[in-house]
Amino acid sequence: MGTRLSDSPLYAHLWGTPEMADLFAEERRLQSWLDILVALARAQAKLGIVPASAASSIASRARVELLDMELVAEETRRTSHSTLGLIHGLERVLGEETARYVYLGATVQDVTDTWSGLVMRDAGALVWRDLLAVEAAVLELAVRYRDTVLAGRTHGQPGSPTTFGLKAASWADELRRHVDRLREGRPRWVVGQLAGAVGTLAFFGPAGPDLRAAFCAELGLGDPGVSWLTARDRIAEFAHVLAMITATLARIGAEIYELQRPEIGELREPAAPGGVGSITMPHKRNPEAAEHLGTLALLARSSAGVLLETMVQQHERDGRGWKAEWIALPEVCQLTGAALALAGRVVPGLEIDTAAMAANLHAHGGVPGAEQVLAHLSGRIGKHAAQRLLHSLLRDAPADLPDALAAHGVATVDEVRAWLADPAVAGAGVMVDHVVARAHRARAAEEAW
């Protein structure tokens, strides 16, 4: 039974996904560490540093299921060392002759940083897949509602008309930039670490750089070309891209949350089968999923902030920030996985009330076409004079605007009515088409992450 809600069998689904959680599960993490040691031994065998037979034996025996986990735990506590318990357990499995060649010349950070590279590869692949799925759903909304007019809102107040298609296209365009960030960042993030004590690879002499390249190749990771013991920007950047993804999803959620208010009623998140909005107010239908997207993004930003702090390190090794990554990196990955899974359910199931959108355009005494009136009058009496006149007239009697402007002799009643009737959203449709076409071109050429 977990001591944190994020580990609770009852609530874990709110904070992560089974796939993402599996990447950080104890047995998988330990097996990954063992696989890294296997890769190191194989690379060392290729360069003649250890016997090929030893590398083969390590590869066949370095399995979590063969370890005495009680011994590993006890030795970890006894030695106060991050991986010495694991090594002592592995030594028992390998036997004395082979054990002398395991972990040769490597440090804890070589293992854990390389594991971080593997995790960023595997977690990134899950994020990539789910991000593309959410993008596809949002693009579909943009196409379907390309010309559906609704009130644009600024500072929380109804403004000029826009289209729901443009709103969705804005979401899609932002999601596409996150796809680009993931693709562009992958070569920077998905690298290994073999640095030795202070980054010089002194244990291996001149063979060090070649060994690192062979080691990384064994794991399918990039060779960083230089030790990065206290250069933590890779993990910080990866985490911030994930946090930005959750922030975009929270922006979508915030829009749903606001527009689901009954007095607006333009959007509603899909109702979960058997879901209950309130146990005391049965009439309520709460936007729980949209709301939770904001919570997940808040927590993701918090974890990403910790990882930004870890960039401030001292000298050639600094365990303070480095070990903070062990907590914060899994957190931001889990939170992002949960946010994408949630958005992947909410966006395709959105209930969209186009009638409410049309009705709200003219509700609350607003004049949605006022911007068009201003544009036309600006050509006749100048922008600033037109603005002053409209401010005065709309403050006093917005419903009588056509007659009032006619009385001022600046336009006819029919002209003003025509201006007010024009939602002027042709440009919105052009932008929707541009975003959709560009995204589909990119998606058609997209390769696996």
Active site residues per annotation: 155, 278
114 and 194 Cβ atoms separated by less than 8 Å:
yes
Residues in the chain, total: 449
Q: Quote the distance between the C-alpha of residue 148 and its chain's center.
A: 29
Q: How far apart are CA 296 and CA 300, in angstroms?
A: 6
332 and 243 Cβ atoms separated by less than 8 Å:
yes
Q: How far apart are CA 324 and CA 307, in angstroms?
A: 8
Q: How far apart are CA 248 and CA 445, in angstroms?
A: 24
Scanning the structure block, which residue is given the tokens 């909005």? Answer: 277
DSSP 8-state symbol, 448: P
Give how far Cα 381 sits from Cα of 367, 389, 420, Å.
21, 10, 18
Scanning the structure block, which residue is given the tokens 């190191």? Answer: 40
Strands 149-154 and 267-268: unpaired
Per DSSP (E only), the strands in 176-312 are 267-268
Q: How far apart are CA 132 and CA 148, in angstroms?
A: 25
Which residues 6+ apart lie within 8 Å of 265 measured at CB? 259, 353, 356
